[in-house]
Amino acid sequence: MKASYLLTLAPCAVAAVKHYASAQSPLGNTKSCLWRPPPPLGLACGVDEVDLSLPQKSQATEDETSSSKSRNNNRTVEPTKSIWEGPVDCLSSYCIFFNSGFANGRGIVAITTTANVDKLKSIDVAITSSHDTTVTGDAYTVSEVAGKGLGMIASTPLRRGDTIMQKTPALLVHRGFLESIPPSQAQRNLLDAAAELIPSPLKEGFFDQMAHMGGQVHKIVDIMGTNSFQMDLGGQDGHHYGNYPEVSRYNHDCRPNVVFYIDKETLMHTTTVVRQVKPGEELTISYLDPLKPRAHRRHRAHLAWGFGCACPQCSLPDKEADKSDERLEEIARIEAQLADIYDKKVNVKMLKRLAALYEEERLEAKVANGYTMIALNANMLGQEKMAKEYAARAREAVLLEHGPADTGGDAAAMADLARDPKGHFTWRARINTR
């Protein structure tokens, strides 16, 4: 191969590998936070004050509440039309806006800026019923779990790729409102007023959520701090915390059997099974980065929830936990080597070792990046069969972890690689640079 072609190929390959090496969830499952929430909020990954009192419900609001109840008692009633109302009350530049017809009558309330409401208005609210569903009517039950309170229990066999639920947020709160404005009675009043505007029965589900501080500071702040997810509506001022009452029933596990993503286009929170689940098994998601060592995860949990993580993985005997941490360190070390196209020690054995480590650590919910790295490097080593296999696996994992929108385009890139390894620009790139 001509040297001039190598000079063109190498930078492309380096950029591709580095991109995939640093790829993270675009909406951060707190696996990769969009921002680090400051204390004392403890929000998981994720002014001029005005004397506010709880707003009196207008006749229109009462009519909407009545309509919401009617929808719940009689499924044949047409959903409330999607109409944004507000601002109801404001504090600084943050105001309450609500839409009882959002997502086919599910409803939503937001404490945000006028500019962000315009973004919300642009979201397609004509969400079909298939976007708010479960695998089957009896896929899970919400039951008491020893030492955890309520939890999600599988009531039917589930397999990788099964969707459990898809929900839009009940309450959306701008990051700046919680983090930049000093805590005050005015701030708490606005949060209370917003929560009261959530349509029933969604409102009941919102207030039933666990609050790790027991509501000692303020119930709504506590609920948001315990159960919210970071999301970005786009632009320079789009960071928000979103609360999904039904999703809060998932308990945390550092080795979960369910993964989630939030679709930026619809705000839809989707949870999907990542490994076989038997009836009676608890369904869990991870609010922490499972690739971090145990001490880090426990510390992060303590900051967010006030106590360290006590999931089965974090509760392993010290000797087993140390071995797990060693495997995680090896994963990081191998992936760092794979990200360097000029590392001459990269070989097929190393790729197989990385795949085995992910399997041994039960990282089914965080495997997209690893499989992508394996696929790319297999192709760079001229291993066509292996490249195709792991490109297909990577594509499937990307869709589960990041969703069809896949803002990074990784799913499409892996589909291209799986379709024609030899025609891909990374073909034999490591061999040709040695």
Is residue 49 pLDDT above 50, yes or no?
Answer: no
CATH class as words, domain 59-285? mainly beta
Q: Give backbone dihedrals phi and psi of 150, rounded to 5 degrees, phi first.
A: -75, 150
Query: What is the average per-residue pLDDT within 327-331?
Result: 98
Please list, in sequence order, all residues whose beta carbon lies within 8 angstroms of the beta carbon of residue 319, skipping any fewer than 6 positions away. none
What is the percentage of the chain residues whose pLDDT exceeds 70? 76
The pLDDT value recorded for residue 68 is 33
Q: How confident is the model at residue 358 (pLDDT cuts 50, 70, 90)?
A: very high
Is residue 72 pLDDT above 80, yes or no?
Answer: no
Of 52-66, 154-168, 229-243, 369-383, minimum mean pLDDT range = 52-66
Query: What is the average per-residue pLDDT within 224-249?
Result: 92
More confident residue, 133 or 281: 281
Q: How confident is the model at residue 34 (pLDDT cuts 50, 70, 90)?
A: low
More confident residue, 175 or 409: 175
d(CA 376, CA 294): 29
Query: What is the average per-residue pLDDT within 66-80?
Result: 42
Query: What is the average per-residue pLDDT within 324-347?
Result: 96
Is residue 64 pLDDT above 80, yes or no?
Answer: no
Q: Where do the H-state alpha helices sit in 78-153? A: 102-105, 114-122
The pLDDT value recorded for residue 127 is 61
The pLDDT value recorded for residue 306 is 73
The alpha carbon torsion through 231, 233, 239, 242 (nearest 10 deg) reads -40
What is the percentage of the chain residues whose pLDDT exceeds 90? 62
Is residue 329 pLDDT above 50, yes or no?
Answer: yes
Dihedral sign for Cα atoms in the order 62, 68, 74, 79? positive
Please list, in sequence order, all residues whose beta carbon lies within 8 angstroms of the beta carbon of residue 75, skipping any fewer than 6 positions away. none
Domain ranges of the chain: 3-25+313-432, 59-285
Query: How many other C-beta atoms are found inside a 10 Å radius of the C-beta of residue 396?
Result: 17
Mean pLDDT of the chain: 82
d(CA 40, CA 303): 9
Query: What is the average per-residue pLDDT within 7-30?
Result: 40
